[in-house]
Amino acid sequence: MWETVLDRMLHRLIVTGRLRVTYPEGTVRDYGPGGAEAEVVLKEARLLRALCLRPVLALGEGYMDGSLQVPSDRLYDLLALLIRNQQAGRLPVWVNAVHALRGQLRGLVQRNTPLLSQRNVQHHYDISDDLYRLFLDRDMQYSCAYFTDPDLSLEEAQQAKKDHIAQKLLLKPGMRVLDIGCGWGGMALTLARDHGVHVTGVTLSENQLATARRRAAEEGLADRTDFRLLDYRLLQDRFDRIVSVGMLEHVGAPHLHDYFAKLDDLLAPEGVALVHSIGHVSPPAATSAWIDRYIFPGGYVPSLSEVAAAVERTGLWAADVEVLRGHYGPTLNHWRQRFEAALPRVRAMYDERFIRMWRFYLAVCEAAFEESFQAVFHMQLSHRQYAVPVTRDYLYQRDPARDHSRSREGMLHAAQ
């Protein structure tokens, strides 16, 4: 029965490219008109029912436990083909209904209290810094890089991302900067070192906190940085600048207004904030059931309409909104290639199920950014209309004096 249902689902779903499926009893069937190809082998009959009833979750779980196999390790090709066809909206009515219901209930299931938020963050970030060092750049930037040139290395593109954000913050030496969701400290340390500001970084990850503090001490920046294990909602200070990279995705749909209202409270009257976040340029949708269960519990990728509505309810100007397209896919590709190259070291740390989970995570995220309406938002916020230049020219003009001020020697001179 379930093989017949799945067969009909796939005949309806695959409208571009070609998918070859080998069923548990050995039957091989092709779906789609041809073109880009992918292949999958279903090893167990029980998987068929799961794929019919909850395909997104079952696909990931089947790959993790080995009941779903991808010949020649072409996992990315399979996921890209499925996501590309999913965009046509031809999934069965019951699958779409469940997804729509999960979207409607997101306000109830994403009540990220401070305690639950810390638990969710630690689920992902406190597994091991050693794992992240294997596939991130040297500065451990775990967010979308900025490829001003497609041939940039990962290190160069991550530096370009930090430079782009720093320019939007319009920094001056001596400013007090807040970094919400500071990660392993890379952004905070860069701003403190290259721009002469004092940065307070908050995180809910104990691993990230320890690494950020250690790096600050090693780089002689402990006096310009203050890293805290603290929920941003508990902060009471005012800051000249606020930066938040990859944090909004952990807030949850019910708390989007709370997040921007807190930024409103924390930002000085003449201040500027820059929020960097994954987002949908399509209507709001529920988080992937597999991502929510295994990778980012409590996470939510907001749509641009949701973010704009939350900002509109504050006293903040949306001084500038930039949609970064075509940057996160290449970033994830770099991470995925580095992860695969480091497999011998990963296997010394984790079992095969974890490795398959992480491989699926990196591949499905890359495919999502390449094949669906998902991008990165830069939202620049201020209290005053003219706190930010009225054109973007300042972002792309090279100023030798500014370049000098960003150097270590220039900062030492400015501090004297």
Residues carrying an active site annotation: 365
Kindly state the DSSP code that residue 271 receives in the 8-state scheme.
Answer: E
State which H helix or E strand residue 277 sits in: strand 267-280
CB atoms within 10 A of CB 347: 12
Specify whether the CB–CB gap between 238 and 267 falls below 8 A.
yes
Instruction: Look at phi and psi of residue 32 and say left if phi exceeds 0, alpha if psi is from -120 to 50, else beta.
Output: left
Backbone angles phi, psi at 401, to 5 degrees: -65, -40
Considering Cα of 274, then 125, then 310, then 104, what sign does the dihedral take?
A: positive
DSSP 255: G
User: Which tokens go with 105?
Assistant: 């209930």
Q: Please spell the DSSP secondary structure of 119-162, one letter per residue.
A: HHHHHHHTS-HHHHHHHS-TT---S----SSTT--HHHHHHHHH
Assign 325 to helix, strand or coil: coil
For tokens 């100023």, name the residue: 399
Taking the C-alpha atoms of residue 159 and residue 161, their distance in angstroms, rounded to an integer, is 5
With b meaning 16 or more CB within 10 Å and e meaning fewer, what string describes 15-24?
eebbbebbbe
User: 91-113 burial string, b = 16+ CB within 10 Å, else e?
Assistant: bbeebeebbeebeeebeeebebe
**DSSP symbol at 288:** P
Of 411, 413, 415, 416, the C-alpha closest to 190 is 411
Q: How far apart are CA 49 and CA 64, in angstroms?
A: 17
For residue 17 the two structure tokens come to 């490219």
